[in-house]
Structure 1
Amino acid sequence: MHRKNKKKFLTVQLLPDNVSPPRSFQFRYTWIYAAGITAGIVFLLLVAGLITYSQVLQAALQKGALEKENIQLREQLQKIGELQAELELLRSYNERVRNSLQGYVTFSEAAGDESAASDVIFTSQQKYSLFTSVPQITPMSGFISQEFKWPDHPGIDIVAPEGTPIKAAADGIVAFSGWTYEDGYFIILYHPRGYSTLYKHNSRNLVSTNQIVHQGEVIAFSGNSGGTSSGPHLHLEIWKDGFPINPRQLLVDLTAGE
């Protein structure tokens, strides 16, 4: 028997519509197989490349997001550190006043005394009248842009041009005069009968901690300092025995601006 010859070529015949003779093309099967294998390899390489590109792109996006998140975390940690430092500073006010003002003030320690929260009781060495020792005059001329609303806004905002003099609302002693991240330059005054007043966002403070001040004395100039300020104004707070009160209840000359 004769062994049947295996086909080595693929013949493709083109039959034109006109009278031209048909045209034939022959392709070796080995070429076709090689072309198919090559096309398959190219296809697989393209798929692998797309997958790799997608993974690299996703990793790059994740890296960018992580870097952004790390930056935000560092900023938050920095702010937390600043706020913690401010909190420790505020906690030290009372102790600093206690230790340095023995000749001017005494401090109530009576258990169960509701007025003990304010700490400060002025003695006969420093004479104060009822009017001048209670916050009753408006510290700065201007108009009220925001009213007292506890707990969101424990004071009032008085708007005036930057550099307007700020006066002490009552006789007292400077518990703090300095700068913080949120409030900028601000002052805390302790007054007799458990009162304290806070003056925030100043452009410049004129008094120092532990200094005695009198009602109507210029203690600072208005400004726009601090991270929470949106324009030149004075943020004024009045506290009594550790609780904020509406300044309108005490400031006899306070009138809202037009």
Structure 2
Amino acid sequence: MAHRTPQKKYINFLIIPDGKEESRSFRLSVGMVRFLIVVTIILFFLISGGFIAYWKLGSLVLENNHLKEENFKLVKSLKQVDQLKEQLVALQNFQKKIRSSFEGYINVEESGNLDSVSWNDLNFEMMDIGRERSLFNNIPSLIPVEGFIARGYEPSSLISDAHLGIDIAAKTDTPIRAPADGVVLFEGWTNDGGNVLIILHSFGFITVYKHNQINLVKELEQVRKGQVIALLGNTGKITSGPHLHYEIWRNSQPVNPINYLNER
């Protein structure tokens, strides 16, 4: 008996266009149709995979750029931290000089110890990164306490007779305010001055506050102009009633506070 070859199976496709054009038809073998379906599926997955890979690559590029930006900010911050550390060390060394030379009063001879410190090295604008300080906030022009001046500025060549500041009399516990932005260099007790504060400001200014009832800020604490830093008192041996003994120093030299007090 003769072996019959199986006939190929075809699928007919009929295209009926709109309008007056004639219809068209064509046929494809079942094998060809299956082949085209497989090719279409493969192309679909290839194109989809390409889009997914492109999207992932774009995400990686964005993430890489973000990491670069964060790394740049981190390096910048680390440099600023290093600068702050250097300034902190300078402040601590300066504070040690203040502590070793300050007992009851700062006299003209001892103030020479401060000359070894470079004021340019103490860049206090860096203590508050990103913010510019105005000249108004850096000059000690604010009257530190409400009261009346009981004794004025009386410099003298005789250290024992020198009065290197002014005495402002007021009631005990009257708030004492920082006359300018600055950093607390000294906070503690001395025999003559009682509770004493020393604040370092920009432009070479130092302000001194003696006979306080209580100090409200700590050493190396940053203070703002107008901030309450202490309460007026009558502490220490050299005192004649509740008052604030207030001094201003500029570049290691005492100056008359009256010349700077123009704000309330």
TM-score scaled to structure 1, two decimals? 0.53
2:222 to 196, 208, 212: 212
2:193 to 159, 183, 193: 183
From 213, 219, 229, give the equivalent of 1:203.
213
Q: 2:203 aligns with which of 187, 193, 211?
A: 193
Assess, with a 3 A threshold, how the Cα gap between structure 1 residues 224 and 190 changes in structure 2: closer, same or farther. Answer: same
Alignment partner of 1:143 is 2:148: yes
Alignment-derived partner of residue 241 in structure 1: 251
- CA 1:116–1:125 in 2, change beyond 3 Å: closer, same or farther? closer
How many angstroms does 1:227 deviate by? 0.6
Shift of 1:245: 0.3
Q: Does structure 1 conserve the Cα–Cα contact (< 8 Å) formed by 2:169 and 2:243?
A: yes
What amino acid maps onto 1:143 in structure 2?
Answer: F
Shift of 1:125: 4.5
**Residue of structure 1 in register with 2:262 after alignment:** 252
Please report how far the alpha carbon of residue 124 of structure 1 lies from its aligned counterpart in structure 2 after TM superposition.
Answer: 3.7
**Structure 2 equivalent of residue 116 of structure 1:** 118
CA separation of 1:190 and 1:238: change in aligned 2, threshold 3 A: same
Counterpart residue number, 1:162: 172
Contact 1:139/1:168 (CA < 8 Å) preserved in 2? yes
Give SS of 1:237's match: strand
CA distance in 2, matches of 1:175, 1:248: 23
TM-aligned CA deviation for residue 93 of structure 1: 1.2
Residues 118 and 93 of structure 1, relative CA distance in 2, 3 Å threshold: farther
Q: Which amino acid aligns with 1:178?
A: G
For structure 1, list consecutive stretches of 5 or more residues without a partner in the other structure: 1-89, 98-112
Query: Following superposition, which runs of at least 4 residues in structure 1 exceed 6 angstroms of deviation?
Result: none
CA distance in 2, matches of 1:210, 1:252: 27
- State whether residues 120 and 193 of structure 1, in contact with CA within 8 Å, keep that contact through their aligned partners in structure 2: no
Deviation at 1:114, TM superposition (A): 10
Retained in 1: the 8 A contact 2:98–2:186?
Answer: no
Q: Relative to structure 1, is the Cα distance of residues 184 and 119 closer, same or farther in structure 2, using a 3 angstrom cutoff?
A: farther
Letter in 2 for 1:220: A
Secondary structure at the counterpart of residue 225 of structure 2: coil
Q: Which amino acid aligns with 1:187?
A: L
How far 1:225 sits from its partner (Å)?
A: 0.2
Question: What amino acid sits opposite 1:221 in the alignment?
Answer: L
Q: Tell me what 2:234 maps to.
A: 224
Whether 1:132 and 2:134 are equivalent positions in the alignment is no
> Once the 2 structures are TM-superposed, how far is the Cα of residue 115 of structure 1 from its aligned partner?
8.8
CA distances 1:66-125 after superposition (whole Å, capped 9, x unpaired): xxxxxxxxxxxxxxxxxxxxxxxx98615699xxxxxxxxxxxxxxx9993686331345
Listed as ranges, the gaps of 5+ residues in structure 2 are 1-91, 100-114, 157-161
Counterpart of 2:118, as a letter, is A
Partner secondary structure for residue 217 of structure 2? coil
Q: What is the number of residues matched between the two proteins? A: 150
- Aligned residues of 1:160 and 1:222 also touching (Cα < 8 A): yes
Change (3 A) 1:124 1:92: closer
Give identity over the alignment, percent: 41
Aligned CA RMSD, in angstroms, stands at 2.7
1:167, 1:209 → 2: CA distance? 16
- Report the CA distance shift for 1:183/1:125 in structure 2 as closer, same or farther (over 3 A): closer
The letter for the 2-side match of 1:135 is P
Distance (Å, rounded) in 2 between the aligned partners of 1:118 and 1:199: 24
**What's the offset of the Cα at 1:188?**
0.2
